[in-house]
Structure 1
Amino acid sequence: MALKAALLAEQKAEVEQKNQQIEHARRALEEKAAELALTSRYKSEFLANMSHELRTPLNSILILGQQLAENHETNLNPRQVEFAKTIHAAGTDLLHLISDILDLSKIESGTVTVDSEDLSFEHLRENLGRGFRHEAERRHLEFSLDIEPELGTALHTDPKRLQQILKNLLSNAFKFTEQGSVRLRARKVSSGWSEGHDVLDHAQTVVAFEVTDTGIGISPEKQKIVFEAFQQADAGTSRKFGGTGLGLAISREIAGLLGGELRLHSTVGEGSTFILYLPLNYVGADRAHSARAAQAMAQTSSTQEPPVRVLEHALERVADDRDLLAPGEPILMVVEDDARYASVLRDHGRSQGFRVLVANTGTEALRLVRDYKPTAISLDIVLPDMLGWTVLARLK
């Protein structure tokens, strides 16, 4: 009896010691989560400030390059004029990149505001037609803008942000289409978006803006990453088409801010259709923000054990193994907000025999820990870099 009591006491002591270790690890993770949140905000602010600082000298370069290219005093030879045009074109491309980085950093830092007002469909049609009809004629492509009458005369949203998305989608469609057509169609729909979308599911009317082309199409594996920053359907060293790879990432985030969602259907060699789902009437920032979280969580849900909910960060989602987890498997959690670097760490973890969970933020990491309820957490490594932290933790 005394031996049994001693064993029980020893086991109780071991359990208490393990609980203390878990609590210590969780506190350490919470501290790192706070640091991650702070450095993430600093990074976004740094990018925004840097973008503004770069624009000032770049605008001077653009103005002077244009003046040289116009050669009003006719003191430049044709070759020098061509050089000036090249400088201006390169500067314009760089300005677009800076603007995209600024947009993305503002979205990440939560400083983007939505200015909603009524926008007539006729005005939208005129603006888009004016911007792309000449390109269609130059490229000998069919171009049509079809807005169904049942939508009424106007929608209530942020006109600037909506047109930013549609112009980006149309620009991409023309870029990747050498023959055939580019079409935009706006129609009233009752389905098509992710199940459980907080705003679209409750909107009285949902409009779908469909941009369809007959271009090169996008392969299934590229469709999974095409909305991530700096990712492109036409990638690699033999790229034929230019671009920064930021446009679709920004468009997806703006769609979320407007209470909507951006989806893609594509077949290689046949073309692509990007569909922007939006409420006919913008519902406000709080509800739209909830929609972005619901959109991120609605992609898939796991019925396997352990019960890990899908808690993706709304900005970028790196596919991980949370839907494949089985009891007893070794798990590595990666906390990193750079999608490309997180993907490298994920693949490395898999090569070492781990199932890998990827969290974009410290908050998401804490939620995963609370959902998974590990018996032990081992902070393998915490890597500081210039603008943030990378955390690798083993869960048992």
Structure 2
Amino acid sequence: GPLLAAGQQAETERTMRRRDGSTFLANTSHEIRTPLNGLLGLGRLAQQPDISEEQRRDYLNQMMDSAESLSGLISDILDLSKIEAGRLTLETQPFSLRELLASIRLAYLTLAQARGLTFAVEIDPALPAWLFGDPLRTRQILSNYLTNALKFTSQGGITVSVKALSENANGSVGEWVHIEVSDTGPGIAPEQQKRLFQPFTQADESTTRRFGGTGLGLSICRELAMLMGGDVGMRSVPGEGSSFWAELPLPAAPAPMAHQPREPRPHGAGHEALHGRRVLIAEDHPVNMLIAVAQLEQWGMEVAQASDGRQAIEAVHAAASVGKPFDILLMDVQMPVMGGHDATRELRKHFSAEELPIVALTAAALISERNDAFAAGMNDFLTKPIDTPKLHQTLLRLVGKR
């Protein structure tokens, strides 16, 4: 009867989902293996005792490329699984798309020039100075499009164009922003175009090879745009190039009160501001500790180490009692004996956020994690792998003025 049919259909859907899931796993594990094998193989080569310094440096540079590619891939997989579980929440805040585009231009111009390509950004004068939306996720859509365009364009150039529209492609009236990335790459055959934005479980092997991986980036663009209430699409002429676009509902926002246009600081400025400052780092992973300590010492900071929250609390009290208090504490969230949140709550009974700034270091990028960190009394929050310029800015902001 009808009941049986419904039951069968649900079962079929589950089987399909499982099969999609295993295709997904097969695709992604293949994807992860590539940079991982690169890292391991190059690492072995770099360990050889009898190679030149130049050769070693070359291996290390290639290892960095593999590591960055692996890191990006893992972020993508985490994002997609969060989206599928309905756990990805969007922020709504005033942001300047013009500023975001300027910083993207800086990042991608050098990459394009290195490949002998032109890179242009065209902005509609009617685009409002400030918009309401999620700057991080808007940037992610753009970056995914640009990374693809760079990968497949060997001559000519790439153009980003941004327009303000009063209705979208489907005729919905509102404040829309149309973002488009065009390239002069090889173009994409019509039968492959249909597959590109699909949940990439359905992409076939050849698409995978041709489009650098699992098409994860494009699936994420589509999911993010849809979460925002927007849409994505593409046009392509084989032999001439492709354009990928996103239309997002981003209403105009008033300029936030505190905003002064930022002067780009010369890199390397501000080291003297950190010189001689005392920092305690609480981290239970020896390699993470090694990297952090080396970086902080390069900036002239005095570094003390703790491997769990309990040790961190003892170190803070000991330093304060001999009149050499720490200027800042970098606190891993997950540690044995006592975690970062508990240690912070404990320390906040004795030291205010002004007296002892505490920055959370965490491997999880969920918004809820950030809220937990602030609830525990932390001043700020950095996700691993720690981004060096971001760490530097955070330290300058919290310590540089003291």
Cα displacement (A) at 1:138: 1.1
1:140 aligned to 2:116?
yes
Letter matched to residue 172 of structure 1? N
1:184 aligned to 2:154?
no
User: 1:68 & 1:157 partners in 2: Cα distance?
Assistant: 46
Conservation of the 8 A alpha-carbon contact between 2:98 and 2:129: yes
Conservation of the 8 A alpha-carbon contact between 2:122 and 2:160: yes
Aligned to 2:191: 221
Q: Please state whether the residue corresponding to 1:216 is helix, strand or coil.
A: coil
Aligned to 1:98: 74
Q: Please state whether the residue corresponding to 1:217 is helix, strand or coil.
A: coil
Aligned to 1:257: 227
Aligned to 2:145: 169
Aligned to 1:208: 178
1:77 aligned to 2:51?
yes
Cα displacement (A) at 1:193: 2.2
For 1:129-176, what per-residue CA distance to the aligned partner results, in whole angstroms no more than 9, with x for missing partners? Answer: 121010121122221112212121021111111100001111111222
Alpha-carbon distance change, 117 to 92 in structure 1, aligned in 2, over 3 angstroms: same
Match of 1:126 among 93, 102, 106: 102
Aligned to 2:206: 235
Provide the aligned C-alpha RMSD in A. 4.5
Aligned to 2:135: 159
Cα displacement (A) at 1:82: 5.6
Q: Please state whether the residue corresponding to 1:151 is helix, strand or coil.
A: coil
- Where do 5+ consecutive residues of structure 1 fail to align? 1-23, 50-57, 196-200, 283-396
User: 1:35 & 1:46 partners in 2: Cα distance?
Assistant: 16
Q: Please state whether the residue corresponding to 1:248 is helix, strand or coil.
A: helix
User: 2:219 & 2:24 partners in 1: Cα distance?
Assistant: 17
Conservation of the 8 A alpha-carbon contact between 1:258 and 1:278: yes
Cα displacement (A) at 1:189: 2.2
Cα displacement (A) at 1:222: 1.2
Aligned to 2:90: 114
Letter matched to residue 159 of structure 1? P
Give the number of the structure with larger relative contact order, counting CA–CA contacts within 8 Å between residues 6 or more apart: 1
Which one has the largest radius of gyration?
A: 1
Aligned residues: 248
User: 2:132 & 2:101 partners in 1: Cα distance?
Assistant: 15
Conservation of the 8 A alpha-carbon contact between 2:42 and 2:62: no
- Where do 5+ consecutive residues of structure 2 fail to align? 26-33, 253-402
Match of 1:248 among 218, 234, 239: 218
Q: Please state whether the residue corresponding to 1:206 is helix, strand or coil.
A: strand
TM-score by length of 1: 0.51
Aligned to 2:247: 277
TM-score by length of 2: 0.50
Q: Please state whether the residue corresponding to 2:195 is helix, strand or coil.
A: coil
Aligned to 1:268: 238
For 1:369-393, what per-residue CA distance to the aligned partner results, in whole angstroms no more than 9, with x for missing partners? Answer: xxxxxxxxxxxxxxxxxxxxxxxxx
For 1:104-147, what per-residue CA distance to the aligned partner results, in whole angstroms no more than 9, with x for missing partners? Answer: 22212211111121110232122211210101211222211122
Report matched runs for 1:57-68 at 5 Å: none
Alpha-carbon distance change, 230 to 140 in structure 1, aligned in 2, over 3 angstroms: farther
Alpha-carbon distance change, 235 to 257 in structure 1, aligned in 2, over 3 angstroms: same
Conservation of the 8 A alpha-carbon contact between 1:140 and 1:179: yes
Letter matched to residue 269 of structure 1? G
Alpha-carbon distance change, 48 to 266 in structure 1, aligned in 2, over 3 angstroms: closer
Q: Please state whether the residue corresponding to 1:96 is helix, strand or coil.
A: helix
Cα displacement (A) at 1:258: 0.9
Alpha-carbon distance change, 225 to 34 in structure 1, aligned in 2, over 3 angstroms: closer
User: 1:234 & 1:187 partners in 2: Cα distance?
Assistant: 35
User: 1:44 & 1:116 partners in 2: Cα distance?
Assistant: 33
Letter matched to residue 128 of structure 2? G
Cα displacement (A) at 1:98: 2.8
User: 1:271 & 1:89 partners in 2: Cα distance?
Assistant: 26
User: 2:24 & 2:204 partners in 1: Cα distance?
Assistant: 27
Conservation of the 8 A alpha-carbon contact between 2:20 and 2:201: no
Alpha-carbon distance change, 65 to 136 in structure 1, aligned in 2, over 3 angstroms: same
1:150 aligned to 2:121?
no
User: 1:214 & 1:48 partners in 2: Cα distance?
Assistant: 30
Cα displacement (A) at 1:208: 0.6
Alpha-carbon distance change, 180 to 192 in structure 1, aligned in 2, over 3 angstroms: farther
Q: Please state whether the residue corresponding to 2:121 is helix, strand or coil.
A: strand
User: 2:13 & 2:211 partners in 1: Cα distance?
Assistant: 36
Conservation of the 8 A alpha-carbon contact between 1:218 and 1:272: yes
Conservation of the 8 A alpha-carbon contact between 1:216 and 1:269: yes
User: 2:45 & 2:102 partners in 1: Cα distance?
Assistant: 31
Q: Please state whether the residue corresponding to 1:144 is helix, strand or coil.
A: strand
Alpha-carbon distance change, 246 to 207 in structure 1, aligned in 2, over 3 angstroms: same
Letter matched to residue 210 of structure 1? E
User: 1:170 & 1:255 partners in 2: Cα distance?
Assistant: 16
Letter matched to residue 246 of structure 1? L
Conservation of the 8 A alpha-carbon contact between 1:118 and 1:155: yes
Cα displacement (A) at 1:253: 0.8
Aligned to 2:345: none
Cα displacement (A) at 1:39: 8.6
Conservation of the 8 A alpha-carbon contact between 1:260 and 1:276: yes
